[in-house]
Chain A
């Protein structure tokens, strides 16, 4: 149990560093860097727990983690008065399928050489296609998380999204 806690903590901290690093690269304002780190760490931790500890598939774990980042990002956006994309994009980048994209590329490189490809044709083709499909699916999941506001809340601006049911009911009545 202790070991799982330690591994989770390590995952959280490293993912937070990745998120802050990418946030600086994308020039996220200094005042909200911590939000990017927090969301990136928490999202990656959620994926780590779902995928490696509970054992659910990597695509569904990434989707849930990205949705978590998206929803928590909208909540935090109200607190710090900043549009959510500013920190949800670097937070989701922590889960970017770089390894799978890299393997796709290496597989394609191997296919360019016919002799190499013939040695183990079935595996090389299958691996390449699998890695390509996996990388694109994961990327799509990350984007879903970032635009969760439009997908679930039917609101174009995060400013109008509220988590309090009563306020939503009142707004609904006003619309009528």
Chain B
């Protein structure tokens, strides 16, 4: 193989590593996890890998260990973050498999494609899970059975709205605001008709499924592990989402009146 061919190959390998890294980032992996997984696969292919992290994209530079004059740098932009721990698990297992079984590049590409398209939960399964989670959250926080039922219903309906708005391609802030508005309107029934004894708990727990929990926790983990810009970006993003949840609740308060909350 001559030099230009090796250089070209290095470029395609960078693209593969970028694909792995950005898939992990979009699925809710912490920076250290992305770093570890990509390094593991990259060093098995014979490269030194350096990653620059950003919330909306990654820059990867690879350098051939046996010949440092061969290197490549590429950037990939991310469009959407969507927590998917199934991908996290599969790519982690893939990276260990690459290390232990010495997989070739086409095999890795094939496995990655399979991981990306693997179906997880259906829409209705997620809806029911969110409804049950809101029900149980309200119950553990001290609401009675009726309040918990309303919280569950509110979570279910809000999640349905979120899915519908997401399907139509609205901006994430509009999606979150709409869902939180619908949820808190339903939850306000508890306060208006005096169904439960603590309507505050119903209103607080029915929007918890919208909280970007993965990003919030990842933000602190990145802070502890030393990826400060990423931690900052995640923190800002999750505060922004919470702000839009608050806007949705505020809208419904405007309809119902603050004294009812």
Contacts and interface: CB of A to CB of B under 8 A. Distances in A.
Interface of A: 11, 14-15, 17-18, 20-29, 32, 44, 81-83, 85-86, 89, 92-94, 96, 98-99, 101-103, 105-106, 108-110, 116, 139-140, 142-144, 146-147, 150-151, 156-157, 159
Interface in B203-251: 203-205, 207-209, 211, 213-214, 216-217, 219-221, 224-225, 242, 246, 249-250
What is the predominant secondary structure among interface residues of chain B facing chain A? helix
B92 A83 contact: yes
Contact of B83 (A14, A20, A27, A142): A27
A94 B208 CA distance: 10
Given A21-B129, A21-B136, A99-B201, A139 B220 contact: yes
Contacts of B170: none
Nearest to B135: A17
B89 interface: yes
A103 B249 CA distance: 12
Contacts of A139: 216-217, 220
A174 to B, nearest CB: 19
Interface of B: 28-30, 32-33, 36, 83-89, 92-93, 96, 120-121, 125-126, 129-137, 139-141, 200-201, 203-205, 207-209, 211, 213-214, 216-217, 219-221, 224-225, 242, 246, 249-250, 253, 258, 261
A22 B136 contact: no
B221 A147 contact: yes
Given A82-B92, A89-B85, A109-B250, 19 more contacts: A11-B140, A15-B140, A17-B132, A18-B133, A18-B136, A23-B85, A23-B129, A24-B130, A26-B83, A26-B214, A27-B85, A28-B85, A85-B85, A99-B200, A101-B211, A109-B253, A116-B258, A143-B216, A146-B221
Contact of A85 (B88, B129, B204): B88
A39 B88 CA distance: 19
Nearest first, the 6 closest Cβ-Cβ pairs linking A and B are: A21-B133, A143-B220, A24-B129, A102-B204, A17-B136, A21-B129
The winner among A22, A139, A151, A156 for most chain B CB atoms within 10 A is A22
A15 B246 contact: no
A21 B130 contact: yes
B36 A157 contact: yes
Nearest to A108: B246
Contacts of B204: 98-99, 101-103
Contacts, number: 145
Contact of B140 (A14, A101, A116, A147): A14
Contact of A143 (B217, B246, B250): B217
B94 to A, nearest CB: 12
A113 B237 CA distance: 27
Contacts of B131: 21
A61 to B, nearest CB: 14
Contacts of B213: 22, 26, 89, 93, 96
B33 A29 contact: no
15 contacts: A20-B133, A26-B83, A26-B213, A29-B89, A32-B89, A82-B89, A92-B217, A98-B141, A99-B141, A101-B242, A143-B216, A144-B224, A146-B221, A156-B32, A156-B36
